[in-house]
Each structure stands twice: as C-alpha cells, then as structure tokens.
C-alpha cells in the first residue's frame, strides 16, 4: 500500500515535536554531524555511512555496532522513498542542517523519479524547541524543490567532499540564493579552517575568548561560545573535544584548576583557566599550529602537516599553509 508522506528532518527532537503536532506521514531523523570528521569523495551512500559510523565510534560517541546499525536503518528508509507520494525535507539555517540538506538534495537529484513530489521547509528557526503549534505553522513555507535548488545542492555537496577546499570557496562567487542559507554555510565552514593570524578555528577562538573573560565552568564556556554564533550548530560533545585538545597540548592552552581532567561527562566542580600560552595565541603572538600539528577532516579535506589550509577572514581567501 502506498504511503503518503515521508518527513525527513535534522534529528529526534524535531521528530518528537512533529509527532505531537499531529503531522501526517512517517518520520526520518537524519542524524550525522557532517561538519566533523571525514566526508571524502568517491563513496556511495552505503560506503560513506560506514565511514561516518567508524568516525563517530572513534570519538567515543556510541557503540560501534549500534552506530552502524542506525546508519543502515536510516539509509534503508531513504532508499524506500519510492513507496511514498511525497517527501518533505524540514531543515534549519545553520551549518549542521545545511550540510545534511545538500547531502539529501544531491541524493534525490541522482535518484528521484518524476512521480514523487519533493518539497522543502527551510527556515531560520530551530526546530527542536518549537511548540507543536509553531511546528504546524511552518507548513505555510512548504514549496516544491526546484531544478535550480537540486543543481546548486549537488554542486555544493561535490565541493564539500573534494580533497581541497578551493571548489567550496568558489561557491562564494556564484548565485546560491535559491538556497538562501547556503552562502552563510559556506563561510561558516571555512571559518573552521585555521585562521591565518593564529592558527585557530572560529570555534577554538571563541572558546578561548570566553575562558579569557573569566568564565571557567565548561557548560558556561559552551553556552557563551554559542552566543557568539549567528546560527548555532555545534553540539556539546564536539565542543568538549575542543577543550580537551587545549588541555592536552604541550604547552597546555587551558588548565584544569578544579575537577578531574576528564571532561566527559562534565562535572559541576570543573573549572578551567587560560594559560600564558593561550593568552599569547589570543594576542596573535603564538600560532596554535606550532603547538599542535593539524590532524582534522573538514568534509573531504584532511588537514595535516604538508596540507594545512588556512582561512583569511578579512580577504575571504584560503591558502595551503599559514
């Protein structure tokens, strides 16, 4: 029997609100922190999901078999899309959501059939905190995905997975207004590359600035760092990795002045302070990359010694080497 609607959105919180709102259809939470870890080119959906599950498990964010099983279950629902008359994509304006959105739009661009309607609800509101009534109100923004939107998304998804960031930067020079939040997404991801002044990403810079202001509790550091974002996207688990790296570096950038060094889970007694080395980095007298060699994936780009792309925020340019 043909089912009517498949609603795909950014996670379980949004699905819970949709169900409470009585929205019709089935629901698929698209769980993946695509801005963290490898998203290399040359892999189909199944292969990429295996790669993503492996990375997420390596971070200690879940049990490996369960993570992979969840990805397989998710992908099988997506592949069953032909059982539906209508696919509705519900996504926010931030980096986390926009990367998921271009992944899905590209996939449907490659796999869709003419008989199935695919529509989009993409807003500058966070879906999880909405009331059921507010969620239902968003239906007024629903519109069929256009050929131009599919095309732009495919171009962006391909650029995101390239082994150099140059195609991603080139997106700044084309008209992406059909996906109105993509331009800001391109810039925000580029700001996760080391900056040319001190080697810090924007997330790292913001975290150090908050601690330097006298805020020491990790949850307060996280919350105050998030307030510096135009579009909040980062989860707490990713943020603890940033703090841990500062604590573990030699010399340390952050000191634990109260509580155990292990920051997962966060304990009430934890308190952090910035070291002299941290202050020198913030004042651009030291470069973080001289203390900690890069080893990080951003999409398809693997930052490591010899391939260390750096972003110049002022000039909107990227160079291989700081």
**Residues 246 and 129 occupy one common structural domain:** no
CB atoms within 10 A of CB 138: 18
Q: What is the DSSP letter of 145?
A: P
The pLDDT assigned to 138 comes to 97
Q: Please report, for the domain that includes residue 27, its CATH number.
A: 3.40.1360.10
Mean pLDDT on 17-42: 97
Residue-range definition of the domain harbouring residue 46 = 3-189
pLDDT at 2 over 50: no
Question: If residue 267 lies in a helix (H) or strand (E), which one and from where to where?
Answer: none
DSSP conformation letters of 50-116 = HHHHHHHHHTTSS-HHHHHHHHHHHHHHHHTGGGEEEEEEEE-SSHHHHHHHHHHHHHHHHH--TTS
**Residues 224 and 247 occupy one common structural domain:** yes
**Residues 91 and 226 occupy one common structural domain:** no
Mean pLDDT on 234-241: 93
Number of domains in the chain: 2
DSSP conformation letters of 3-16 = EEEEEEES-HHHHH
**Residues 170 and 224 occupy one common structural domain:** no
Q: What is the three-class DSSP state of 243?
A: helix
Structure tokens at 24: 């019709």
Q: Please report, for the domain that includes residue 231, its CATH number.
A: 1.10.10.10
pLDDT, the chain, mean: 94
Structural domain contains residue 315: no
Q: Residue 52 — pLDDT band, cuts 50, 70, 90?
A: very high
Structural domain contains residue 77: yes
| Beta-strand relationship, 117-122 and 143-144 | antiparallel
Mean pLDDT on 50-59: 96
The pLDDT assigned to 268 comes to 60
Structural domain contains residue 309: no
Query: Which residue has better confidence, 258 or 41?
Result: 41
pLDDT at 44 over 60: yes
pLDDT at 65 over 70: yes
Structural domain contains residue 302: no
Mean pLDDT on 153-159: 98
**Residues 45 and 173 occupy one common structural domain:** yes
pLDDT at 37 over 50: yes
Q: Residue 134 — pLDDT band, cuts 50, 70, 90?
A: very high
Instruction: Summarize pLDDT for 275-320 with one digit per residue, the tens.
Output: 999 999 999 999 999 999 999 999 999 999 988 999 999 999 999 9
Query: Which residue has better confidence, 14 or 266?
Result: 14
| Residue 88 phi, psi dihedral angles, 5° rounding | -120, 120
The pLDDT assigned to 3 comes to 63
Q: Residue 266 — pLDDT band, cuts 50, 70, 90?
A: low
Instruction: Summarize pLDDT for 183-201 with one digit per residue, the tens.
Output: 999 999 999 999 999 999 9
160-164 CB contacts, 8 Å cutoff, 24+ apart: 160/34, 160/39, 160/99, 160/102, 160/189, 160/299, 160/300, 161/39, 161/40, 161/41, 161/299, 161/300, 162/41, 162/299, 162/300, 162/301, 163/40, 163/41, 163/300, 163/301, 163/302, 164/301, 164/309, 164/320
Q: What is the three-class DSSP state of 272?
A: strand
| Residue 13 phi, psi dihedral angles, 5° rounding | -60, -45
Query: How far does CA 53 lie from the centroid of its chain?
Result: 15
Instruction: Summarize pLDDT for 72-115 with one digit per residue, the tens.
Output: 999 999 999 999 999 999 999 999 999 999 999 999 999 987 78
The pLDDT assigned to 119 comes to 97
| Residue 197 phi, psi dihedral angles, 5° rounding | -85, -40
Structural domain contains residue 282: yes
Structural domain contains residue 13: yes
The pLDDT assigned to 270 comes to 78
Cα(110)–Cα(225) distance, integer angstroms: 38
Q: What percent of the chain has pLDDT over 70?
A: 95
**Residues 135 and 210 occupy one common structural domain:** no
**Residues 60 and 103 occupy one common structural domain:** yes
pLDDT at 122 over 90: yes
Residue 204: name the closest of 228, 185, 172 by CA: 228
The pLDDT assigned to 267 comes to 61
State the distance between the two ends of the chain, measured CA to CA, in whole angstroms: 58
The pLDDT assigned to 1 comes to 42
Sheet strand arrangement including 296-299:
37-38, 296-299, 301-303
Report how far apart, in Å, the C-alpha atoms of 141 and of each of 16, 99, 147, 245, 261 are: 20, 20, 18, 42, 47
Mean pLDDT on 208-217: 96
pLDDT at 217 over 80: yes
Q: What percent of the chain has pLDDT over 90?
A: 91
């Amino acid at each position: 029997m043909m089912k009517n609607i498949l609603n795909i959105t950014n996670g379980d919180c949004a699905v819970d609100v949709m169900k409470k709102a009585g929205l019709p259809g089935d629901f698929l939470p698209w769980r993946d922190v695509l801005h963290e870890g490898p998203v290399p080119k040359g892999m189909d959906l199944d292969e990429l999901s295996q790669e993503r599950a492996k990375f997420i498990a390596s971070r200690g964010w879940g049990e490996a078999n369960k993570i992979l099983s969840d990805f397989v279950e998710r992908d099988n629902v997506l592949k069953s899309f032909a059982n539906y008359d209508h696919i509705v994509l519900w996504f926010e304006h931030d980096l986390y959501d926009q990367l998921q959105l271009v992944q899905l739009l590209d996939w449907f661009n490659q796999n869709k059939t003419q008989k199935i309607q695919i529509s989009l609800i993409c807003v500058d509101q966070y879906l999880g905190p909405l009331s059921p009534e507010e969620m239902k109100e968003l239906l007024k923004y629903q519109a069929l995905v256009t050929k131009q939107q599919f095309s732009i998304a495919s171009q962006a998804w391909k650029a995101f997975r390239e082994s150099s960031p140059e195609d991603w930067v080139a997106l700044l020079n084309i008209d992406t207004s059909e996906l109105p939040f993509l331009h800001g997404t391109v810039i925000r991801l580029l700001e996760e590359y080391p900056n040319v002044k001190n080697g810090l990403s924007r997330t790292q810079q913001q975290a150090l600035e908050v601690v330097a202001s006298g805020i020491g509790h990790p949850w307060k550091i996280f919350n105050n760092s998030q307030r510096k974002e135009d579009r909040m996207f980062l989860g707490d688990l990713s943020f603890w990795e940033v703090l841990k790296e500062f604590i573990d570096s030699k010399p340390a950038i952050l000191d634990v002045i109260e509580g155990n060094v292990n920051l997962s889970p966060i304990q009430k007694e934890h308190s952090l302070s910035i070291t002299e080395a941290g202050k020198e980095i913030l004042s651009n007298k030291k470069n973080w990359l001289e203390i900690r060699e890069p080893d990080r994936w951003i999409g398809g780009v693997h930052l490591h010694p010899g391939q260390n792309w750096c972003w110049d925020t002022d000039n909107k340019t990227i160079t291989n080497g700081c």
